[in-house]
């Protein structure tokens, strides 16, 4: 419905990378009437391929509202539901996040924050619940729930987007070779592609991009397990007790995630597995089977904000990156902001504009 008829002349945007960031910004451009061409190498490192896809408007550490949650949550719902209609499929699911209380103070703080004029109150259920069975042996004695949380089916979203992009636009499945990029004031050429602009969405592989390798990233490796259990009784809600159990359906559960800042690769480790199993086994004592163990690298920025905008030297080159731990929530709102800034020359939020790193 939104796509422009592809012709063989210049595309408006060549986009490098089709993770969550590249997908969301490509669809946002298309909805605004632009044409796109994509270059993505599926075999390269991708955080999106292993992401839990959870959005959580609450930071558990101090029980505060997550940065800009009031703006980000409505926009993510709006964005994904538009594309659910276009792709004729379900992409997002509303889910509660179960927060068990282990100490009295946690419950007291929760009750305070979930009531009255506290800014968090729209996201916190003010009711305290009792006795949630996780499996036959383990019951959460007391807990409450994060409201307005949920989950994007990331593999399905990426697959639907790829199918759509391939159907209506040019899509090169290969590693982008930055040496072959030719930039002039009139446009961009890359191998068989010509475009008015280029937009990089390479996740943590931005470190190999000669045009943007000066952005101060602080990527974080993360590992997850997928397990099969006949016994875990969580059906839809996400359990969070310093780690998450995300029900995937068909008795499969995703368990995550670890954080590590030194060895930045996609190789799952024994240490990562041990850490996740230790947390899981404190809750689930019934048998389960490990189906897969995966690792990825979150593209976080040193100040933990997205990094988007126009290159300081090349007016037709853009960046959409830095989605860190929260791509599902951040990408729709900031893709819209980036596209509006391109279209109307409007300002990008100073906290996310890449110009904050230009000296
Ligand atoms: C364990 C773990 C759990 C997570 N859970 C969640 C969660 O529950 N919710 C949430 O919101 N976020 C989560 N995240 C974070 C989320 O995964 C990232 O923020 C998000 O995936 C980043 O998307 P991206 O598109 O910027 O990067 P990526 O997903 O890394 O995508 C980059 C894409 O660019 C391509 N690419 C890069 N360089 C080139 C090149 N030179 N040529 C061609 N293609 C190239 C890659 O192949 C890839 O497809 C999690 C991350 C991890 C590691």
What's the pLDDT score for residue 239? 97
Residue 147 CB burial class (10 angstroms; 0-12, 13-18, ≥19):
middle
Range of the domain at 178: 11-50+154-217+302-357
Whole-number Å distance, alpha carbon 109 to ligand 1 midpoint, is 34
Same domain, 113 and 129: yes
Is the bond into 290 cis (omega within 30 degrees of 0)? no
Residue 204 to residues 48, 109, 270, 297, Cα–Cα distance (Å)? 11, 36, 23, 7
Substitution candidate for ligand 1 out of 202, 219, 273, 335 with most atoms within 8 A of CB:
202
Q: What is the pLDDT of residues 235-262, one digit of tens each?
A: 999 999 999 999 999 999 999 999 999 9
Contact of 120 with 64, CB cutoff 8 Å: yes
Whole-number Å distance, alpha carbon 17 to ligand 1 midpoint, is 9
What's the pLDDT score for residue 9? 67
Number of domains present in the structure of the chain: 2
Same domain, 226 and 280: yes
Across the chain, mean pLDDT equals 94
- pTM of structure: 0.97
Whole-number Å distance, alpha carbon 166 to ligand 1 midpoint, is 20
Residues 133-138 have a mean pLDDT of 89
N residues, the chain: 359
Judge whether 61 lies within some domain. Answer: no
Same domain, 122 and 208: no
Instruction: Give the atom of ligand 1 at the shortest distance from the alpha carbon of 329.
Output: 11
Q: Of all protein residues, whose CA lies closest to atom 51 belonging to ligand 1?
A: 51
Same domain, 142 and 258: yes
Q: At 154, is the pLDDT very low, low, confident or very high (cuts 50, 70, 90)?
A: very high
Give the whole-angstrom CA distance, residue 285 versus residue 143.
20
Q: At 5, is the pLDDT very low, low, confident or very high (cuts 50, 70, 90)?
A: low
> 298, 318, 339: which is the final residue of a domain?
298
Same domain, 347 and 225: no
Query: Can you state the angle between helices 20-31 and 327-344, rounded to 10 degrees?
Result: 40
Q: Of all protein residues, whose CA lies closest to atom 44 belonging to ligand 1?
A: 40
Judge whether 230 lies within some domain. Answer: yes
Which residues form ligand 1's pocket by a CB distance below 6 Å?
16-22, 39-41, 44, 46-48, 50-54, 175-176, 201-203, 205, 222, 224, 256-257, 296, 298-299, 321, 323-329
Q: Which residues pair with 222 in a beta bridge?
A: 296
Judge whether 314 lies within some domain. Answer: yes
Instruction: Give the atom of ligand 1 at the shortest distance from the alpha carbon of 46.
Output: 30
Judge whether 65 lies within some domain. Answer: no
Q: Is the pLDDT of residue 45 over 90?
A: no
Instruction: Give the atom of ligand 1 at the shortest distance from the alpha carbon of 294.
Output: 1
Residues 192-201 have a mean pLDDT of 95
Give the whole-angstrom CA distance, residue 80 versus residue 90.
9
Query: Of the candidates 70, 24, 94, 92, which has an alpha carbon nearest to the alpha carbon of residue 331?
Result: 24
Residues 160-166 have a mean pLDDT of 97
Whole-number Å distance, alpha carbon 201 to ligand 1 midpoint, is 9
Same domain, 208 and 224: no
Q: At 115, is the pLDDT very low, low, confident or very high (cuts 50, 70, 90)?
A: confident
Substitution candidate for ligand 1 out of 14, 15, 19 with most atoms within 8 A of CB:
19
Residues of the chain with pLDDT > 70, as a percent, come to 98
What's the pLDDT score for residue 329? 98
């Amino acid at each position: 419905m939104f796509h422009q008829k592809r012709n063989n002349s210049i595309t408006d945007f060549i986009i490098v990378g089709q993770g969550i960031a590249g997908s969301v910004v490509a669809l946002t451009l298309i909805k605004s009437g632009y044409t796109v061409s994509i270059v993505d190498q599926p075999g390269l490192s991708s955080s999106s391929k292993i992401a839990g896809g959870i959005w959580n408007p609450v930071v558990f550490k101090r029980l505060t509202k997550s940065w800009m949650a009031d703006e980000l949550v409505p926009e993510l719902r709006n964005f994904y539901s538009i594309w659910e209609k276009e792709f004729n499929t379900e992409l997002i699911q509303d889910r509660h996040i179960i927060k068990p209380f282990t100490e009295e103070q946690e419950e007291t703080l929760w009750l305070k924050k979930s009531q009255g004029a506290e800014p968090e109150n729209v996201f916190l259920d003010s009711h305290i619940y009792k006795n949630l069975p996780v499996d036959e042996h383990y019951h959460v004695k007391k807990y409450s729930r994060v409201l307005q949380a949920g989950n994007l089916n990331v593999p399905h979203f990426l697959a639907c987007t790829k199918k759509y992009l391939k159907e209506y636009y040019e899509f090169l499945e290969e590693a982008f070779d930055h040496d072959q990029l030719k930039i002039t004031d009139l446009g961009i050429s890359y191998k068989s592609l010509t475009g008015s602009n280029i937009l990089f969405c390479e996740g943590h592989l931005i470190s190999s991009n000669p045009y943007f390798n000066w952005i101060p990233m602080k990527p974080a490796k993360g590992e997850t397990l997928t397990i099969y259990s006949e016994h875990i009784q969580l059906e839809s809600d996400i359990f969070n007790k310093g780690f998450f159990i995300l029900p995937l359906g068909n008795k499969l559960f995703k368990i995550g995630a670890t954080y590590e800042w030194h060895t930045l690769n996609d190789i799952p480790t024994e240490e990562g597995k041990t850490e996740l199993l230790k947390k899981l086994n404190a809750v689930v004592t019934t048998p389960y089977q490990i189906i897969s163990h995966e690792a990825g690298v979150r593209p976080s920025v040193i100040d933990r904000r997205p990094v988007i905008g126009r290159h300081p030297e090349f007016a037709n080159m853009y960046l959409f990156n830095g989605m860190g731990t929260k791509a599902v929530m951040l990408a729709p709102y900031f893709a819209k902001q980036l596209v509006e800034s391109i279209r109307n020359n409007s300002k990008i939020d100073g906290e996310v504009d890449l110009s904050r790193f230009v000296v």
